C-alpha cells in the first residue's frame, strides 16, 4: 500500500493541472479515462462547464474555514477522479476551495483509470465509484481516512430512486444534479471536516 501511495503522489496533478488536462483533451475530442466515445466526451463537456461555474461561485462556510485553519498538522488530500464523472465535477471544485483557504491542506488529484492499484484499496461496495478522497498525513503519508463518492444525502437520493424505479437512469442523474446545485457544497464541506482527526477540533 505504501508503494502505491508514493507512486500515486508522484503521478498526481494539482487542481489547475487537472482542469487543464480535461480542457486540453476536450480540445482534441477526447475525455480522460480508458473508454473513449461520444458519451464520455459529452459528459466531460458538461462537467467542465459545471466546474467552471463552481470555481466562480462556491464559498467555504465561515465555520468550515475556521476548522480547517485550526488543523493540528498538515495533510494531503489525494483524490481519485475523472473528467467524465458527474459527481467528481460537483465535488472536486469544493474540495479545492477548502484546500485553498487552509495552509494545512494540499490537494492532489490522480485519474482513476491510470491508478487501478490505488482504486482497489478504496472501493465502494466492490465498485470503483469516484470521486474518492483519501486523507494522508503530509509527513508520513499514512492513510488517516477516506470519503466519497458522494455526500450521504445524495447517496440516499440515488438509493431511494433505484429502490423505486429499479434503475439509475437519466431522470435520476438530473435529480442528483439538482441536489448538488441546491446544496451548494454545504454537505461536502461538513462531511469532510467531520472526518477522523478533524472531529476533535470542532
Q: How far apart are the first and last CA of the chain?
A: 31
Q: What is the pLDDT of residues 21-41, one digit of tens each?
A: 999 999 999 999 999 999 999
Q: What is the pLDDT of residues 147-186, one digit of tens each?
A: 999 999 999 999 999 999 998 898 999 999 999 999 999 9
Residue 74's pLDDT is what?
Answer: 94
Q: Are strands 75-81 and 132-137 parallel, antiparallel or unpaired?
A: antiparallel
Residue 195's pLDDT is what?
Answer: 87
CA 117/CA 1 separation, integer angstroms: 9
Residue 197's pLDDT is what?
Answer: 55
Question: Secondary structure of the chain: what % helix, strand, coil (to 5)?
Answer: 60, 15, 30
Is the model's pLDDT at 140 over the cut of 70? Answer: yes
User: For the residues 129-148, what does the mean pLDDT come to?
Assistant: 95
CA 35/CA 175 separation, integer angstroms: 25
Residue 72's pLDDT is what?
Answer: 86
Mean pLDDT of the chain: 94
Sequential DSSP letters for 17-67: HHHHHHHHHHHTT--SSS--SHHHHHHHHHHHHHHHHHHHH----HHHHHH
Range of the domain at 110: 2-201
Integer-rounded Cα Rg, in Å, for the chain is 16
More confident residue, 194 or 55: 55
Q: What is the pLDDT of residues 47-84, one digit of tens each?
A: 999 999 999 999 999 999 999 998 989 999 999 999 99
What's the total number of domains in the chain?
Answer: 1
How is residue 8 written as a grid cell?
A: 500515486
Q: Which CATH number characterizes residue 167's domain?
A: 3.40.30.10
Amino acid at each position: 500500500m505504501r508503494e502505491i501511495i508514493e507512486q500515486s503522489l508522484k503521478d498526481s496533478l494539482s487542481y489547475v493541472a487537472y482542469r487543464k488536462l480535461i480542457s486540453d483533451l476536450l480540445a482534441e475530442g477526447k475525455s480522460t479515462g480508458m473508454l473513449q466515445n461520444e458519451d464520455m466526451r459529452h459528459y466531460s463537456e458538461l462537467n467542465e462547464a459545471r466546474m467552471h461555474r463552481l470555481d466562480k461561485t462556491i464559498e467555504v462556510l465561515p465555520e468550515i474555514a475556521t476548522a480547517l485553519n485550526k488543523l493540528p498538522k498538515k495533510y494531503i488530500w489525494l483524490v481519485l477522479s475523472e473528467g467524465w464523472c458527474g459527481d467528481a465535477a460537483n465535488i472536486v471544485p469544493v474540495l479545492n476551495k477548502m484546500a485553498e483557504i487552509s495552509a494545512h491542506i494540499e490537494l492532489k488529484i490522480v485519474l482513476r483509470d491510470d491508478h487501478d492499484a490505488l482504486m482497489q484499496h478504496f472501493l465502494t461496495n466492490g465498485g470503483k465509484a469516484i470521486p474518492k478522497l483519501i486523507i494522508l498525513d503530509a509527513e508520513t503519508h499514512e492513510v488517516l481516512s477516506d470519503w466519497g463518492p458522494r455526500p450521504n444525502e445524495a447517496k440516499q437520493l440515488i438509493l431511494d430512486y433505484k429502490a423505486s424505479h429499479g434503475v439509475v437512469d437519466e431522470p435520476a442523474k438530473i435529480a442528483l444534479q439538482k441536489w448538488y446545485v441546491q446544496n451548494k457544497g454545504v454537505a461536502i464541506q461538513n462531511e469532510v471536516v467531520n472526518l477522523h482527526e478533524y472531529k476533535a477540533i470542532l
